[in-house]
Amino acid sequence: MNENWTAWPGERFALGEGLRRTGDRLIMVDILTGRLLVVPEDGEPRVLLTLAEPLGAVAPRPGGGWIAAAGTGIAILGDTGIEHWLARPEDGAATPMRMNDGVTDPYGRFWAGSMAYNNAPGAGSLYRADPDGTVTRVLGELTVPNGPAFDADGTTMYLADSARGVIHRFAVDPASGQLGGQTDFAVVEEGSPDGMTVDAEGFLWSAIWGAGQVRRYAPTGELDRVVNVPAVQPTSICVVGDRLVVTSATVGLAAPGALDGAVLSRAL
């Protein structure tokens, strides 16, 4: 049952992810093909640029262009691709690695996670790129980090470790970006928590890979709402006005359905 969802026309993405509202545009990535796309209000998603590296997520830079979790590190992108790398910390890792999801916090710091191609337990890390371009490894022993997502004042960060079915919550020092205490905010037993966003009321939305759902959690961690999605593997979520928009993926599905891999939208 579609439950009032509508799908954008055109391509069904292998690993559509990183859905973000940037100004008046909605953008996303298709990770394994290295593509950054804009999702128009009407018509098919349109490719803005293509990298020769997997592209996990991007965020706009104040002076133009993008900062990106790409390949084995964090890069600055221009109109045609990579201008320069800030750091490639996963180069030469014992297990082949790639960058995954990422987001900018309210203070302009870009946070992005890494993961092993074979999902090796504990091989992933979380990195922070400060506005001056310094890249710091802030967490290790992650498996498939997704998010992070920040509250409006940037003092709380949510980070999913999808393979372990848990969403962590951290206190954040807004002045320095240093992480404080870690707590387990929510545990997902059916499916895996994937991309996340915090809405205007301070509630956390998470796409639930493998369960065909998105879930909304109160700041207390209490499950507030479950919305079924007509795609088995929803990957990221964005609240746009009075609508939910969700990306999804076909990778790993033996027989994808008509809406698997689609960009989907419905009223809240």
Binding-site residues for substrate:
98, 100
Q: How many CB atoms lie within 10 A of CB 132?
A: 6
Q: What are phi and psi of 101, to 5 degrees?
A: -75, 160
Residues belonging to the binding site for a divalent metal cation are: 17, 146, 194
Amino acid found at 184: D
CA distance 5 to 212: 13
Catalytic residue among 194, 224, 242, 260: 194
Check if 194 is active-site.
yes
Burial of 154 (0-12, 13-18, 19+ CB in 10 A): middle
CB-side exposure of 5: number of CA atoms within 13 Å?
26
Q: Which structure tokens are listed for 141?
A: 């022993």
Catalytic machinery residues: 194
